[in-house]
């Protein structure tokens, strides 16, 4: 459904060397699939997502959605099909807008009908309920904010949801709730996910296939089964796998 | 009483209106805690009330005095509590009517300069690139002129008079607001909530107007309030130089200019309007300081 | 004798509706060991760490029935006496090196600063600082010594922070989420350095983190905090046998690479836990 072919993203800055954030990354996501991208900070994993939705410049390669190359800038129709949830729920909601304003804005822009009913339904869908409709972000906890962000992304009824570390700013118990929510919504609506995270456990829980990235390049692609079997073919992935267990005292240098 | 308070401070407002009013009430609670700011607000409020009610409050005619009997009476003379000037006009009445001119200057400059500054600044900051360069260079050029001198030049070209003074001050007042709005916009434009709005297909105009401007507005309002003292002084300065309000209009700056000739013998003629300017400027400064504490997100935790 | 004794520590902040206690009666003692304090945001774990160093941010107020460090009563200590303790005998590593290092001062100067205020100067101080940078496994200490913080990566910056805090050889180190801003692979390296230094120098370490898995694999003993209280204290090795439903919940709600529990068990918070 979504095909990324040899994607290059280079940021050119005045008076400095251009930064090649993504260097020739390719992958393909099937309809209804959940695809993970794992990497550490600076690996370019978030930049891939931003390039897909047009927030970062595509300087090479091609992104196609159902065989059609995406226009630059993206068309409004594109945003009805692809939406994104950001990492930090404290930065992704406008501090002076109520939940109601946040949710009615996309409906107004895209000219949707039955707005009242849609807002109420969206809030119920993400487990908040109409009670939350007129609150400001500062009246919400981190987990509740992230639910609002998910509701904002889903209110346009997209087919593909890009998730940029949706739980890394949340407490562990809240993370479980949000992951369950995302899981349920995908099952109910047949959504396609592309999820970025630094946490192998989260990706393994959420995604059927995953891509490991380092320094802007794809290191390797693994299936969930291969990950669980620790069948990593590169050193870097093995290091990530080991680190995800926690601290191990045995191999500390004597 | 507690019920209203609970309704206002509710963490789960039930309607758009309750959410908005609750937010205003919270701001008011924070503002109320600052005594000096409240004092400043009272002065500004008093200026507004006096300006509106001037014809009824003033005991005498502000423009025509009695040259035979009431020339240069000292303060605390019965019926002329602040004294009279060289044409026998009651200074108190002139001050009260002058409040109207001062308020008009302040209000018109705010209404003209603030939107211009906001628009230029947010547009430059949001788009960046050559738009930013062009708009900010224009801003820099206007900023490079001393305010009063530039206003003088405009008034000289347009002709003296209070209307032209207001236009001249407005033209010189917007660049600082543009700079401030641009700086705020630069920090806002890369934030995730703007990216999220872009992803909904929003146009640039919509993003600037509905998402960027409301966030810049509070710091610009604070700045405008703090600048009001300076604007009043500039207007008074133009009046003093004879380029603002024209005689016999009771503009405070012009009144000082008139009293300057006999400052030594009849000190009150120049002092009373001076005190009025001082009080109002102080009021705006205190109010601005208080607003900054309440509105400026950086000052708040 | 214990290195640190805390008894009935309470920290309160004034709010519009009267004072709110963010830490409510925390007691523990610490020997020369690694103690983990785990909790979610708002549990009071960071405030507990700060209070031990007398760094409760005003207008907050910390009170305790007993707060003694190596026999010294820390309650109501004069600023002078605090200066003698902080840095020299007890130190703190914060979460993000970017905000804890002075951006306009070379790293070496900052490492030496602690030494200078406690009386070591000149070449002796320089040598001690370089040795310390080497001890935190910085490969080219001479270069890093002259570098400014922005020239260092996150992992490097955090090592410098640790070097700064350990250069005076304190007896107690409080590390508040020292590795949360770092990538997982670097995180492990930094922990390894801390582990070795604690072992070699016989320091006491309080490791504050939200990451139960990491803390339990690193520390000897774990305190689990919830809503300003310690709900459970246990040996790290016995974590699987945790009794309190909150600790169990925290352990269970983490997704695992191998597990396929769908939906993930979530924490049903019990109002009784906060009592």
Structural domains in chain B, sorted by start = 99-295 (1.10.3720.10)
Given an 8 Å threshold on Cβ–Cβ distance, is A106 in contact with B200? Answer: yes
Q: How far are the Cα atoms of A92, A234, B282, C44, C251 from residue A219, in angstroms, in the given order?
A: 30, 7, 65, 40, 31
Q: What is the mean pLDDT, run by run of 10 residues, along chain A of 254 residues?
A: 92 79 93 92 88 90 91 88 91 90 92 91 90 88 92 93 90 89 92 93 92 92 91 89 77 46
* Residue A223 C-alpha, separation from nearest chain C C-alpha, in angstroms: 12
Q: Cα(C9)–Cα(A48) distance, rounded to whole angstroms?
A: 48
* Residue A180 C-alpha, separation from nearest chain B C-alpha, in angstroms: 23
Which residues lie closer than 8 Å to A243 by C-beta, 6 or more apart? C184, C185, C187, C188
Residues of C with CB under 8 A from a CB of A: 40-41, 154, 183-188, 191-192, 195-196, 210-214, 216-218, 249-250, 253-260, 262-267
How big is the A-C interface in CB pairs under 8 Å? Answer: 94
Determine the pLDDT at residue C170. Answer: 85
* Residue A165 C-alpha, separation from nearest chain C C-alpha, in angstroms: 14
Over the range A158-171, which residues count as b (16 or more CB within 10 Å of their CB) and which as e?
bbbbbbbbbbebbb
pLDDT-based confidence at B299, cuts 50/70/90? very low
pLDDT tens by residue, B265-298: 888 888 999 999 999 999 999 998 888 888 765 4
Given an 8 Å threshold on Cβ–Cβ distance, is A105 in contact with B200? Answer: yes
Domain ranges, residue A82: 2-240
Given an 8 Å threshold on Cβ–Cβ distance, is A79 in contact with B199? Answer: yes
Given an 8 Å threshold on Cβ–Cβ distance, is B196 in contact with A84? Answer: yes
Residues of B in contact with A86 (CB under 8 A): 192, 195-196
Using an 8 Å Cβ cutoff, are C54 and C82 in contact? yes
Measure the CA angle with vertex C240, ends C7 and C210; round to 5°: 55
Domain assignment of residue A160, yes or no:
yes
Determine the pLDDT at residue B297. Answer: 52
Given an 8 Å threshold on Cβ–Cβ distance, is A173 in contact with C212? Answer: no
Domain assignment of residue A251, yes or no:
no
Q: Which residue is closest to A157 within chain B, CA to CA?
A: B200
Q: Which residues of chain C have pLDDT under 70?
A: 1, 97-98
Given an 8 Å threshold on Cβ–Cβ distance, is B214 in contact with A53? Answer: no
Domain count, chain C: 1
Give the bridge partners for C230, in sequence order: C225
Over the range B95-117, which residues count as b (16 or more CB within 10 Å of their CB) and which as e?
bbbbbbbbbebbebbbebbbebb
Interface-testing mutation among C186, C198, C252, C257, with chain A (most A C-beta atoms within 10 A): C257
Q: Cα(C28)–Cα(B258) distance, rounded to whole angstroms?
A: 78
Domain count, chain A: 1
Given an 8 Å threshold on Cβ–Cβ distance, is A173 in contact with C249? Answer: yes
Given an 8 Å threshold on Cβ–Cβ distance, is B199 in contact with A88? Answer: no
pTM: 0.84
Using an 8 Å Cβ cutoff, are B59 and B91 in contact? no
Q: Which of B11, B200, B201 sits opposite A139 (nearest CB)?
A: B11
Domain assignment of residue A249, yes or no:
no
Q: How far are the Cα atoms of B61, B269, B288 from residue B275, in angstroms, in the given order?
A: 21, 11, 20
Domain ranges, residue C250: 4-77+210-274
Given an 8 Å threshold on Cβ–Cβ distance, is A246 in contact with C259? Answer: no
Domain assignment of residue A253, yes or no:
no
Whether the CB of B192 is below 8 Å from some CB of chain A: the reply is yes
Domain assignment of residue A112, yes or no:
yes
Q: What CATH number corresponds to the domain at position C265?
A: 3.40.50.300
* Residue A174 C-alpha, separation from nearest chain C C-alpha, in angstroms: 8
Q: Which of B19, B206, B214 sits opposite A136 (nearest CB)?
A: B19
Domain assignment of residue A84, yes or no:
yes
pLDDT-based confidence at B127, cuts 50/70/90? very high
Determine the pLDDT at residue B300. Answer: 44
Task: Name the pairing type of β-strands A192-197 and A19-29.
Answer: unpaired
Residues of B in contact with A91 (CB under 8 A): 191-193
Q: What CATH number corresponds to the domain at position A178?
A: 3.40.50.300
Give the bridge partners for C19, in sequence order: C14
A neighbour chains, 3+ CB pairs within 8 Å: B, C
* Residue C239 C-alpha, separation from nearest chain A C-alpha, in angstroms: 14
Q: Cα(A85)–Cα(A39) distance, rounded to whole angstroms?
A: 18
Domain assignment of residue C117, yes or no:
no
- Reported residue count of chain C is 275
Given an 8 Å threshold on Cβ–Cβ distance, is C218 in contact with A247? Answer: yes
Instruction: Name the nearest CA neighbour of C255 among C246, C266, C244.
Output: C266
- Positive or negative, the Cα torsion across C167, C169, C175, C178? positive
C neighbour chains, 3+ CB pairs within 8 Å: A
Q: Which residue is closest to A240 within chain C, CA to CA?
A: C185
* Residue A210 C-alpha, separation from nearest chain C C-alpha, in angstroms: 12
Task: Name the pairing type of β-strands A34-38 and A192-197.
Answer: parallel
Whether the CB of B13 is below 8 Å from some CB of chain A: the reply is yes
pLDDT tens by residue, B48-65: 999 999 889 888 888 888
pLDDT-based confidence at B1, cuts 50/70/90? low
First to last CA, chain B: 29
ipTM for the predicted complex comes to 0.88
């Amino acid at each position: 459904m979504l095909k990324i072919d040899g994607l290059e993203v280079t940021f050119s800055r005045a008076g400095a060397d251009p930064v090649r954030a993504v260097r020739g990354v390719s992958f393909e996501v099937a309809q209804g699939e959940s695809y993970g991208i794992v990497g550490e900070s600076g690996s370019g994993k978030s930049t891939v997502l931003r390039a897909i939705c047009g927030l970062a410049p595509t300087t090479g390669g091609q992104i196609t959605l159902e065989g059609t190359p995406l226009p630059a800038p993206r068309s409004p129709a594109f945003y009805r099909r692809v939406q994104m949830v950001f990492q930090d729920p404290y930065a992704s909601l406008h501090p002076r807008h109520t939940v109601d304003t946040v949710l009615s804005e996309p409906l107004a822009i895209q000219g949707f009908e039955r707005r009242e009913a849609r807002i109420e339904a969206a809030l119920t869908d993400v487990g908040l309920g109409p009670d939350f409709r007129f609150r400001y972000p500062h009246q919400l906890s981190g987990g509740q904010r992230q639910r609002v962000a998910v509701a904002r992304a889903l209110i346009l009824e997209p087919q593909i949801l890009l998730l940029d570390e949706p739980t890394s700013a949340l407490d562990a118990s809240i993370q479980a709730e949000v992951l369950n929510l995302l899981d349920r919504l995908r099952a109910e609506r047949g959504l396609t996910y592309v999820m970025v995270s630094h946490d192998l456990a989260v990706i393994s829980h959420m995604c059927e296939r995953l891509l490991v990235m380092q320094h802007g390049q794809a290191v390797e692609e693994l299936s969930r089964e291969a990950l669980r079997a620790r069948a990593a073919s590169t050193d870097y992935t093995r290091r990530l796998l080991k680190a995800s267990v926690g601290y191990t005292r045995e191999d500390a240098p004597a | 009483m507690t019920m209203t308070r609970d309704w206002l401070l509710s963490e789960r407002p039930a309607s758009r209106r309750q959410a908005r009013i609750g937010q205003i009430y919270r701001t008011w609670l924070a503002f109320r805690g600052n005594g000096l700011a409240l004092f400043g607000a009272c002065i500004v409020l008093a200026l507004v009330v006096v300006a509106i009610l001037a014809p009824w409050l003033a005991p005498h005619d502000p423009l025509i005095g009695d040259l035979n009997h009431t020339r240069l009476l000292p303060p605390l003379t019965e019926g002329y509590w602040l004294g009279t000037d060289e044409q026998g006009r009651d200074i108190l009445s002139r001050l009260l009517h002058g409040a109207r001119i001062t308020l008009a200057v302040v209000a018109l400059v705010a209404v003209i300069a603030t939107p211009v500054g906001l628009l230029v600044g947010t547009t430059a900051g949001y788009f960046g690139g050559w738009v930013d360069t062009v708009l900010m260079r224009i801003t820099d050029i206007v900023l490079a002129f001393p305010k009063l001198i530039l206003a003088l030049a405009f008034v000289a070209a347009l002709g003296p008079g209070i209307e032209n003074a207001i236009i001249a001050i407005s033209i010189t007042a917007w660049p600082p607001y543009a700079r401030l709005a641009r700086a705020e916009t630069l920090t806002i434009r890369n934030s995730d909530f703007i990216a999220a709005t872009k992803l909904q297909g929003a146009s640039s105009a919509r993003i600037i107007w509905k998402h960027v401007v409301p966030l810049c507005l509070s710091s610009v309002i604070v700045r405008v309030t703090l600048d009001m003292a300076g604007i009043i002084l500039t207007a008074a300065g133009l009046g003093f130089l004879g380029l603002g309000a024209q005689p016999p209009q009771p503009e405070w700056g012009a009144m000082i200019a008139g009293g300057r000739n006999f400052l030594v013998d009849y000190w009150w003629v120049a002092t009373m309007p001076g005190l009025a300017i001082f009080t109002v400027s102080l009021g705006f400064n205190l109010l601005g300081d208080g607003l900054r504490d309440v509105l400026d997100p950086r000052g708040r935790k | 004798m214990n290195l640190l004794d805390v008894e009935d520590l309470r920290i309160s902040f004034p709010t519009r509706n009267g004072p709110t206690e963010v830490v409510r009666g925390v007691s523990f003692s610490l020997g020369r060991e690694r103690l983990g304090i785990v909790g979610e945001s708002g549990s009071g774990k960071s405030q507990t760490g700060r209070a031990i160093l007398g760094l409760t941010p005003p207008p907050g107020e910390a009170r305790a029935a007993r707060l003694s460090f190596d026999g010294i009563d820390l309650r109501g200590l004069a600023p002078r006496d605090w200066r003698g303790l902080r840095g020299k005998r007890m130190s703190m590593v914060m979460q993000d090196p970017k905000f804890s290092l002075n951006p306009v001062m070379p790293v070496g100067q900052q490492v030496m600063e602690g030494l200078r205020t406690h009386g070591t100067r000149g070449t002796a101080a320089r040598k001690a600082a370089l040795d310390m940078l080497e001890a935190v496994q910085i490969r080219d200490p001479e270069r890093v010594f002259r570098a400014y913080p922005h020239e260092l990566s996150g992992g490097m910056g955090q090592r410098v922070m640790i070097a700064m805090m350990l250069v005076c050889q304190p007896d107690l180190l409080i590390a508040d989420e020292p590795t949360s801003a770092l990538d997982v692979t670097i995180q492990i390296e930094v922990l390894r350095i801390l582990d070795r230094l604690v072992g070699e120098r016989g320091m006491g370490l309080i490791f504050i983190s939200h990451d139960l898995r990491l803390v339990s694999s690193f520390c000897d003993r774990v305190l689990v905090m919830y809503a300003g209280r310690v709900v459970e204290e246990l040996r790290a090795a016995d974590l699987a046998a945790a009794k309190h439903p909150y600790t169990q919940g925290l352990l269970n709600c983490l997704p695992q690479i191998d597990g396929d529990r769908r939906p993930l068990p979530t924490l049903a918070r019990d109002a009784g836990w906060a009592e």
